[in-house]
Structure 1
């Protein structure tokens, strides 16, 4: 059977940039982007064209930021997709390469952030599980000082982005991936967890706030109902644009009422 032609639409660097401008992305602004390549349609040039389109819309004075998470640098005792035999755990902990912002690949955030991570001039923050990469004149200001015992709180790029008046772009991505909601978790009572990972001097364990994206879809639905969120399409991707600070403030109020009890929190893949 011959392979059927792609359904489209045909998307290019220029149509991505134009769609972002129509959505309201402004030259010179700082943008935290969550993205889904497959949602856009048939992209001529793939993720490279998407990043080029994003940078075109932002212009030379704008700064693009993406999550570049690497949660696989974690304790094998908590792996479930798939689990590994318990007799392997000690060897994995002893031999797992430590995080290196230059070479550690992303995991679970899509191919567009991985493309940004390797882009000429991109900078990446220091947290071994929840780093961010940035391109643009404010990149250093955003990624520097990401504390290695603060995944997504006050000493992370999210707080820097909030202070800079950044906006969030959901480019075909759902609210379950809206990283800035986690900043709100650090501002309300939350349990602490022990997080294991490979460090520069061997296996290490740090204490941090427990975070979970459970119910973020519901949170996002209510946020979009109650607060101004620009909605539109870029290619075939349903997209949203909103101020990061507005989303964090709303999430802080919402989570204080709706988040699960402490004993309902899922154990983190630490």
Structure 2
């Protein structure tokens, strides 16, 4: 008797095919403006925060963890990098060498991806399938603004818009919410395609106003600030929180490692 062994990625595709009919058109999670959240991508996830949603790593988070968070009334957003190759990921061997560009500044084990590549897009489809099979409510694809960087490839802003819309369409077809990550110059153009925005240090770098189109559309902006002064100086932290409140942003002051070493929220 022959036993057929399926690769894990193929199993994800098969399972997603079974699950996808469960979702009607436009049936996915849409977080509201001023949603409360916790963002932790490293170390054992602290499940104790009374918030509306958790943003955690897709690969490192078990189905059981996601289920526990959801059972406590939380939505779960699952993080993965959509614009860079990470050599430690379980699907790293699925990328073609021709699609790997320059090393990311400060991240020696990551390389930029050629977002125009059909092979890269197939890997991202399998990652979205994995998010579906694990039970994530939505996804946070990272590094989706690489057109502004010297990646080693020659692609332009329109290529980035096309790739980001591809990700949004594929996520929504699986009943997954999707957030736009750190792409301020294209935020207005993409606010109809994405369900929320996630930005880092928008107050520090004076980029917050770029995301106003999300708020106007009734979609939240989840912001994280890392400056040490916001941790050590309560008056400085209160000042940035007042600015965040005026903009209706959901701002957290967090460690850059996103390991839950500390956490300050501008929302109750």
Query: TM-score under structure 1 normalisation?
Result: 0.30
Higher RCO, 1 vs 2 (CA within 8 Å, ≥6 residues apart): 1
